[in-house]
Amino acid sequence: MSNKVKIAIDAMSGDNSPRKIIDGIDISLKSNTNNFFYLYGQREILEQHILKKTSLNNHYEIIDTKDVIQDDESPLTATKKGKDSSMWKAIESLKEKKSDISLSAGNTGALLIMSRLLLNTIDGISKPALAALWPNSKDMSIVLDLGANIECNEKNLTDFASMGSALYKSLFNIDVPKIALLNIGSEEHKGNDILKKTFSILKEKNQKNYNFGGYIEPNHIMDGNVDVIITDGFTGNIALKTAEGTANFILKNLRKSLNKFSILTSYMSLKKFKEKLDPRKYNGAIFLGLESPVVKSHGSTDAVGFANSIDVCSKIVNGNLINKIKSNLINVD
């Protein structure tokens, strides 16, 4: 087991958990048996769900926990009274070096606060950030911060560049990712003071670790010409939610417009279209900058989406993310 990736799973949080968690692990074990799962949750319930999943044999250990953090709980209250929750205990196992990475489909706010309380920040990193995969015309890129830090200075944004490019390298095995700063114009003089300062730091300290492509406007995120897109958590969250709302609006209108006949005749085409845009493929936001990475699966995803998050966890650990972040660090005076 020593070479296996040890994943601490909050098995109780998210819609339809723990069923989708156990099913997701089952799916992931079909293509990768090199993970070991510490399952945090109520032992009896978990054992019932695992009963028929023989594929899990020898790949898991249950750690009995009492509480479950609810999605609608205030993150602060949840943290205060959640010290015996599956979420807390799973993150705590990182502190104790029992596991390499932690994965939860629960309350994002509570997960961020618990992670910050339990884990140290990597030396030299000012603020951890939330990163996610974003689909594009070629494959996918990484965008961060998506909401962990509402206000960011040039040091924070520069750190996001170091962390984002380290993550991209770990996940996609590429040596020098292309990074860009999200802005409302592409000319060097555009944007606020913090963006301009970050621009000159990234331009001057343009290291061997990434290729700085200047500013990128949000209408070009999905062109696929940039691997890592850097922004503050307010702007990143605005972009993420705008994209989500727009996609939902268009797909809803498409469904409304199609009659039964056209759905039948276009079945294969529409299936291909839906697969390309399947949000389960991009499932998993990564909380970066702490001594160990914490991964957040979407609460409403299913077993396939959860299996994709497990795959992300496995790649992050095998890709030596934390070491890559450390060697990527940029010194901002």
- β partners of residue 104: 10, 296
CB of 1 to a second copy, least distance (A): 41
- Minimum distance from CB of 244 to a second copy (Å)? 5
Q: 43 or 241: whose CB is closer to a second copy?
A: 241
Sign of CA dihedral 183, 188, 194, 195: positive
Tell which positions 233-262 bind a second copy, by CB under 8 A.
233-235, 237-239, 241-254, 256-259, 261-262
As measured in angstroms, the least distance from the Cβ of 160 to a second copy is: 16
Residue 277 is a binding residue for a second copy (CB under 8 A):
yes
Sign of CA dihedral 116, 122, 126, 130: negative
Single out the residue of 98, 272, 323, 327 in contact with a second copy (rule: CB under 8 A): 272
User: Side chain identity at 124, as an amino acid letter?
Assistant: G
**Taking the complex as a whole, how short is the minimal distance between the CB of residue 218 and a second copy, in angstroms?**
4
Among the listed ranges 64-72, 161-169, 212-220, 307-315, the one in contact with a second copy (CB under 8 A) is: 212-220
Considering only residues 179 through 208, tell me which ones interact with a second copy, judged by CB under 8 A. 182, 184, 191-192
The strand pairing partners of 229, in sequence order, are: 143, 180
Smallest gap, in angstroms, from Cβ of residue 190 to a second copy? 9
Regarding beta strands 140-144 and 60-64, do their DSSP bridges make them parallel or antiparallel, or are they unpaired? unpaired
Phi-psi region of 22 (alpha: psi -120 to 50; beta: other; left: phi over 0): alpha
User: Between 147 and 166, how does the x/- string for binding to a second copy read (CB under 8 A)?
Assistant: x--xx---------------
Q: Which helix (H) or strand (E) holds 70?
A: none
Q: Are 134 and 142 within 8 A, CB to CB?
A: yes
Tokens encoding 41 = 């949750």
In the DSSP assignment, the letter for residue 85 is B
- Tokens representing 184 are 């409302």
Check residue 222 for interaction with a second copy (CB under 8 A): yes
Binding residues vs a second copy (CB under 8 A): 135-137, 147, 150-151, 182, 184, 191-192, 217-223, 233-235, 237-239, 241-254, 256-259, 261-262, 265-266, 268-270, 272-273, 276-277
